[in-house]
Amino acid sequence: MALYKKKIEVRDLRPGMFVEALDRPWLETPYLLEGIAIENQADIDELQSLCAFVYISSEEPPADTPEEAAAKANELPALGDQTPRSFREELPAARAIHSNAVGLVKALHGDVVEGEKLDTEAVAEVVERMMDSVSRHPDALVWFSNLKDRDEYTAIHSLNVCMLAVTLATWVGNDARAIKEMGIGALLHDVGKLKVPLEVLNKPGKLTDEEYAIMKKHPEYGVEILKNSPDLTHASLEIVRDHHERLNGKGYPAGRKGSEISYYSQIAAIADVYDAMTSDRVYQKGRAPAQALKLMMSFEGDFNDELLRQFADYLGDYPIGSMVELNTGEVGFVIPSPERQEKPTVLLVLDFKKRRYFPQRVRDLMRFPKFHVTRMLAPGSHGVDVDDYAEAWEL
């Protein structure tokens, strides 16, 4: 008989139930083992002093609450729906788009390995859904670009580059058709890495000259894989070919420079480097967003200065979804403020001892000047990720 995990309030517990999970980590409780058999009212009273709700084993699939049912109904709005929404309203849709896109990228990579035809129509639909989401609220997808998984770097990175490039292109006011072509190219930009030997791709140390020469061929491998896909435009293939080219001619594989590199390849290059710098790799720890932007601005002549400035202006000093530590020692994620402001609004998730807050609390640093950010943290610091708290923020 299948057992399901069902969420209930602690006050609804009864003897005979088995608690599988809490609304907080087990390590923050007195329990030595994970899992509690409820035997009497004392067990319930103990849990009630620690938690608001728990997850029990149940033979019946848990029924959706009205709020959950409504959220699911709105997860994927109709294609082309660009009706403005609040950040909180758009998060479920952005989460669904992100999840679907991760699955698609993995499937595409599997198709490349197996020599199968790529589903370019599905790629185009994912990009259109991203464009719709950015139109409904520009920050929701960027929140999920802070999800990092070193073990699935190529897939997650491809998706993040697409989301960031689409957001930047929309932010600076570009044509929808061109943004779509760019987004398709950005989602596929690293497909050529699947032809790079794993011992080179995942090498933890510095590459030798010979290994680096192999790595620099991945844009050409990508074009070779995709060139016979009938639905891909030349503009999309240019992104795959040129995302490592630099305006000063110091990029690869062809050393193109200036106007030889398309405007949309220049956008994709900025998104590509930013996400790579803020991600954990086998050979480096991810940088905090502000550190990555500062370093990129020091690369004289690499990037389109105006596009990079616009990108930095959009992200701001404290990009949405980035992790910060306050002068109190508390840690949280930056969430949208009612309007753009000098100091961020923070969803606090860890107290000064780095223990998880429950419930989480929101602090607008413009309203409370005694609080300020002391440093920005790399994604995943202290073992917490934005997706741990996206659901809480959606409620």
CATH 1.10.3210.10 residue ranges for the chain? 72-315
3-class SS shares of the chain: helix, strand, coil, % to 5: 50, 15, 40
Rounded CA-CA distance 7/316 in Å is 38
Task: Answer yes or no: pTM beyond 0.85.
Answer: no
| pLDDT tens across the length of the chain (395 residues) | 445 678 888 888 999 888 888 887 777 778 877 788 899 999 998 898 888 888 887 765 555 554 454 445 446 788 999 999 988 888 889 988 988 898 899 899 888 888 888 899 999 999 999 999 999 998 999 888 887 665 577 788 999 999 999 999 999 988 999 999 999 999 999 999 999 998 998 888 889 999 999 999 999 999 999 998 878 999 999 999 999 999 999 999 999 999 999 999 999 999 999 999 988 776 677 888 888 999 999 998 999 999 999 999 999 888 888 899 999 999 999 988 877 778 899 999 999 999 988 777 889 999 888 999 999 888 788 888 777 776 555 43
Half-sphere exposure of 100 (CA within 13 A, CB side): 18
Q: Which of 96, 90, 144, 97 is nearest to 123 (CA)?
A: 97
Residue type at position 94: A
Homologous superfamily (CATH) for 72-315: Hypothetical protein af1432 (1.10.3210.10)
344 three-state secondary structure: coil
Residues 155-174: b if buried by 16+ CB within 10 A, e if exposed: bbbbbbbbbbbbbbbbeeeb
